A and B are shown apart, each in its own frame.
Chain A
Amino acid sequence: METQVTPVNRSSAFRKAITSGRWIEWLIGFILALFSAAMFYPFLWLIFSSFKEGADIVRIPVSLLPQKWTLSAYRMVLDPNRANLPQAYMNSLVVTTANVLTVLFTSSLGGFVFARLNFPGRKILFYFILSTTMVPFLTLLIPLYIVMKYMGLLNSLWALWVPSIFSSFGIFLCRQFVYGIPQDLYDAAKMDGAGDFAIYREIILNLTKPVLSALAIFNFLGTFNAYLWPLVVLNEESKLTLPLILSRLANRFGGMDYQGVMAGSVLVSIPPLIVFLIFQRNFVKGIALTGMKG
């Protein structure tokens, strides 16, 4: 279990092979730092603009820093009469939490079921699930909307949860991972008279933690940042998720009060940022884990 790829913690062999002189490392470091600055620069605009005043943000000549620091833009977007941001925050967090927990459960259980248990149609079902990933979401967009309409789920947060109860990618990922867990462990527990669900709960769930944390982060970002599907199924303002409310904000304040859009953007970016900072280490590990297929 300890042999995972952790690209951040050990220097690459490629590095040892190439970098002989230290000055090369400094030069490359300098180029990378320049690039980082370019990558980060837009965020500075985002943050500083959100603290500007209406007159300040459209002032010419342009300055990056606000003339006068103010929280008026934040007050504007948090005012329930002008923008429903707090409600959207609730909606987004509820949907995202529900989706992440559901997918973690169904994927880890699915990984165990497909890797270790015997049931009719196991092979066919697995290949079928894999093949569904070949159909782009766009092709399913219109008919999925019709299905949601028939189920009476339009304009409700359930419509965001139901289609993501199972994840093909998650099941596949966990199945590969469970194969790596020694079969003997399963057999021994079975010998001791443990039921399949108990084995899943006591052994498999613990051992699949590395892959589950990666899956959790991907799923969090995917659900939290989703735009097209919520746009199609939700329309009442009290049901909207954060990305949707942000584009309503932009339509409302877009012209003169762009600092409102920027303040809203900062607030919308905070949850993913927190998740990223907490799980940063697992993140890179997880990407290595999931990206190494090929």
Chain B
Amino acid sequence: MSQTAQGELGLRPMKQLEKKGGSKRRYSPLAIIYSSALTLFYTVLFIIPFGTAIWLAFQNWDYLTKPRFVGLRNFIKAFSDKYFWQALKTTVMFSVVEICLGVALALLLALMLSQMRGKWQNLFLSLYYLPVITPGVVTIYLWRWLYNPTGGAFNTALALFGIPGQPFLASPNQALWCITAMIIWANVGGAAVILLAGINDIPTSVFEAAKLDGAGFWMTFFRITMPMIRPVLVYQLVVSVIGTVQMFEPFFLMGGPGFSTRTLSLYTYQLGFQSLNLGYGAAVSIVIFVLLLFATVFQLQRWQVNWEY
């Protein structure tokens, strides 16, 4: 933290360099080579693709025939396309539930972990972190097996309590929440580590002062711990939203029946690479971009955190 906190914006170090160097413009050849390579890279692999995405959103293209300009028709189509609305609804429902439950659980874990001694913290953290490092595909096939209606671990466990077997991924009502549960399991450790780092970073003096003033557990928690870790919490929320909305593999590889678990990310992929409706796919992906942009700006405004890099 200390190093990163020192690195502020502004160009203070450069100004110093200019003063010492005497001459006003003293460009480093290394920097010029590096920045040229960087510019080339971002032109080919960011500016051109991003421009193409925007351009494509106003075209009709199937890879084979020539692209045809259709104006705003792709966007108009999206807003009258019931599959688009369904995908949007699925994405929003899934993301909200995943993020709320996931971050709440991670916060609870981090608070409990902060009460443990260093070596126990380390041990538990490693265990919670295992699902985070496990390749997503492995997690998906493992959980598909656990959710198996006949002979899967979950129905076997339910049977112990006399609860009848559930269809899980085979049911249009349960599939989305089964996937959500899996994703929370896979990600909660990562969020807990970051939140714990935030809690452990609060200086001792603050708590000592609170103790002297006679603050109890709840007082300390709500008036000190929570406000002090707010920046970390907001960071975690923002990162979670960006990651969750773009999640792809779980819906691609363990999707429920029909369109019950088709999110915007899967819809974009299908439009672009399966039904070869590139223009429309690009339009949907632009909608995702705008949604994420608004969500991020909204969160940062709402929670009043300076997104100062």
Contacts and interface: CB of A to CB of B under 8 A. Distances in A.
Interface stretch (B77-85, B93-101, B117-125, B170-178): B117-125
B235 A147 contact: no
A55 to B, nearest CB: 12
Contacts of B117: 11, 25
B185 interface: yes
B261 to A, nearest CB: 16
B116 A29 contact: yes
Query: What interface size band does chain B fall in?
Result: 35 or more
Interface string B263-274: 011001100110
B114 A139 contact: no
Interface residues of A, number: 121
Provide the main secondary structure of the chain B interface: helix
Interface in B127-181: 127-131, 133-138, 141-143, 145-146, 150-153, 156
A195 to B, nearest CB: 8
Contacts of B137: 225, 227, 243, 246-247, 265, 268
A239 to B, nearest CB: 17
B1 A139 contact: no
Contacts of A43: 130, 142
Contacts of B45: 144, 147, 162-163
Interface in B277-291: 278, 281-282, 285-286, 288-289
Nearest to A280: B126
Contacts, number: 350
Given A113-B30, A287-B193, A42 B142 contact: yes
A125 B30 contact: no
A40 B127 contact: yes
A129 interface: yes
A187 B200 contact: no
A223 to B, nearest CB: 11
Contacts of A64: 153
Nearest to A220: B133
Per DSSP, are chain A's interface residues mostly helix, strand or loop, or mixed? Answer: helix
A268 B269 CA distance: 25
A177 B130 contact: no
Contact of A134 (B38, B236, B293): B293
Contact of A35 (B109, B199, B305): B109
B207 to A, nearest CB: 4
A49 B151 CA distance: 12
Contact of A243 (B25, B29, B135): B135
B4 A141 contact: no
Given A17-B211, A292-B232, A294-B305, A39 B194 contact: no
Contact of B2 (A138, A166, A180, A243): A180
Nearest to A60: B151
B115 interface: yes
Given A14-B202, A136-B246, A32 B4 contact: no
Interface stretch (A2-10, A65-73, A76-84): A2-10
B153 A250 contact: no
B289 A128 contact: no
Given A12-B202, A137-B246, A287-B193, 10 more contacts: A14-B200, A40-B127, A115-B7, A118-B17, A135-B289, A139-B50, A143-B50, A178-B7, A292-B198, A294-B232
11 contacts: A7-B201, A12-B114, A43-B142, A113-B31, A117-B28, A119-B28, A136-B289, A139-B286, A284-B197, A291-B236, A292-B201
